[in-house]
């Protein structure tokens, strides 16, 4: 009889085991797209996939930052609140204070980075669990939204409107400038993780924090860096969401932290850290987007079924992670 241990041993055997979650996500994406194309004629158009990028560009950027954090074995629950705070600060400065866009953009990006830096410092130097620190950061950022205003603030700044309405065309296909920004972030993140010292340290700390410390790796600097990156990506995601919505609102991005974590996990990054790829995160976001698109095409199911399907997928991928990952000593 084949036991759980036997299955786990077979999956764990060989260096290719680290690619199993990403390949599973790729196969799932191909299967979903194939089923959708077979069921609905319009679904097979490549613009459907491009629309997933257009509608989820901000989530992709946030998920990239979350990938860095989870690779170290941490978590960041503040990202959705930072996204909302970014939209509120941007809208308030642009509309109520008449600040120019070229000043608002770097300010909100610095604000997000500073919040991430502060949480990283608290997590490392006070040895507090990331869950608790980032939960506090979530409440702080969401609360600050309501000190600015309790209602939605529309954005009519010419630069914001241009970014919202512009389309980059490739023949009969089109994408938004936000998609280009998101893909640039993906490429930079992939390069950093694969070819820089920060990337190698990130994987090492997630793989075994004690060994990384004994090897003399800059654990403090790396942990603080990844939370700073997550804060920056959250703020940038907030900017992209404000392009998409043309408004700032304290209720924007409620639950986005869970969507980002789901995308990273479905994309094959281990929750315990040390293994994962940005490409997997991209696939995870595409899978989430395709679930929403399939439900929209069907027309008979409530949007709440999106959460049900995502929950089921998370169970499957967490089990897969358990099967392929070794126990940490």
**Res 241 pLDDT > 70:** yes
What is the CB neighbour count within 10 angstroms for residue 306?
18
- H-type alpha helices, 153-255: 158-165, 177-195, 197-207, 209-214, 219-245
Highest mean pLDDT among 27-36, 176-185, 199-208: 176-185
Q: How many residues does the chain have?
A: 329
In this predicted structure, the answer to whether residue 9 has a pLDDT above a threshold of 60 is no
User: For 173-191, what is the HEC assignment?
Assistant: EEECHHHHHHHHHHHHHHH
In this predicted structure, the answer to whether residue 321 has a pLDDT above a threshold of 80 is: no
Within a 13 Å sphere around the CA of 49, how many CA atoms are in the beta-carbon half?
Answer: 14
| Average pLDDT rounded to a whole number, residues 89-116 | 96
Task: Say how many C-beta atoms besides its own lie within 10 A of residue 101's C-beta.
Answer: 16
Local structure of 154: helix, strand or coil: strand
Please give the model's pTM, rounded to 2 decimal places.
0.92
Summarize pLDDT for 131-148 with one digit per residue, the tens: 999 999 999 999 999 999
pLDDT level of residue 74 (50, 70, 90 thresholds):
very high
Does position 326 have pLDDT exceeding 60, yes or no? no
What is d(CA 28, CA 24) in angstroms, rounded to the nearest whole number? 6
What is the mean predicted confidence (pLDDT) over 193-198?
96
* 291 has a pLDDT exceeding 60: yes
In this prediction, residue 327 carries a pLDDT of: 53
Report the number of secondary-structure helices (H) and strands (E) in the chain: 14, 4
* Best CA proximity match to 12, nearest among 299, 230, 277, 275: 275
Half-sphere exposure of 30 (CA within 13 A, CB side): 6
Query: Is 3's pLDDT higher than 80?
Result: no
Averaged pLDDT for residues 6-27: 67
Torsion sign, CA atoms 282, 287, 292, 298: positive
Segment 272-293 mean pLDDT: 92
pLDDT in tens, 105-130: 999 999 999 999 999 999 999 999 99
Residue with tokens 């909302």: 84
Per-residue pLDDT, 19? 80
pLDDT at 329 > cutoff 70: no
- Whether pLDDT at 8 is above 60: no
In 3D space, the residue among 212, 181, 237 whose CA is nearest the CA of residue 71 turns out to be 212
Q: What is the mean pLDDT of residues 172-184?
A: 95
The answer to whether 289 and 52 are in contact (CB under 8 A) is yes
Cα–Cα distance, 52 to 182 (Å, whole number): 12
**Spatial distance between the Cα atoms of 2 and 18, rounded to a whole number of angstroms:** 22
pLDDT at 211: 83
pLDDT number for residue 75:
96
Distance CA 278, CA 65 (A): 10
For residue 15, pLDDT beyond 50 = no
**Alpha-carbon distances of 90 from 96, 161, 215, 270, rounded to whole Å:** 10, 13, 43, 34
- pLDDT score, position 21: 82
Average pLDDT, the chain: 90
Residue 174 forms beta bridges with which residues? Answer: 169
pLDDT of residue 178: 96
What domains can you pick out in the chain, each with its CATH number?
19-324 (1.10.3470)
């Amino acid at each position: 009889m084949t036991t759980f241990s036997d299955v786990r041993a077979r999956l764990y055997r060989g260096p290719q085991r680290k690619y199993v979650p990403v390949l599973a996500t790729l196969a799932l994406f191909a299967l979903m797209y194939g089923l959708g194309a077979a069921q609905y004629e319009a679904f097979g158009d490549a613009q459907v996939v491009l629309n997933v990028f257009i509608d989820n560009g901000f989530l992709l950027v946030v998920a990239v930052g979350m990938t860095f954090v989870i690779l170290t074995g941490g978590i960041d629950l503040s990202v959705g609140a930072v996204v909302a705070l970014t939209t509120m600060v941007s809208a308030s400065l642009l509309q109520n204070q008449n600040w120019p866009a070229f000043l608002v953009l770097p300010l909100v990006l610095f604000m997000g980075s500073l919040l991430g830096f502060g949480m990283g410092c608290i997590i490392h130097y006070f040895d507090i669990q990331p869950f608790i620190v980032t939960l506090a950061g979530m409440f702080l950022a969401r609360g600050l939204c309501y000190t600015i205003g309790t209602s939605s603030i529309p954005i009519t700044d010419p630069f914001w409107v241009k970014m919202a309405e512009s389309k980059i065309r490739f023949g009969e296909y089109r994408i938004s400038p936000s998609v280009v920004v998101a893909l640039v972030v993906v490429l930079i993140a992939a390069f950093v993780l694969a070819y820089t010292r920060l990337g190698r340290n990130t994987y090492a700390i997630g793989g075994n924090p004690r060994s990384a410390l004994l090897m003399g790796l800059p654990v403090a600097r790396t942990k603080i860096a990844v939370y700073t990156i997550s804060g920056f990506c959250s703020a940038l995601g907030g900017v992209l969401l404000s392009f998409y919505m043309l408004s700032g609102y304290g209720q924007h991005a409620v639950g986005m932290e869970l969507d980002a974590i789901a995308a990273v996990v479905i994309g094959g990054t281990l929750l315990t850290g040390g293994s994962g790829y940005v490409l997997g995160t991209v696939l995870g976001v595409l899978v989430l987007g395709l679930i929403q698109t399939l439900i929209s095409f069907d027309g008979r199911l409530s949007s709440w079924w999106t959460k049900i399907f995502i929950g089921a997928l998370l169970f499957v991928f967490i089990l897969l992670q358990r099967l392929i990952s070794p126990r940490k000593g």
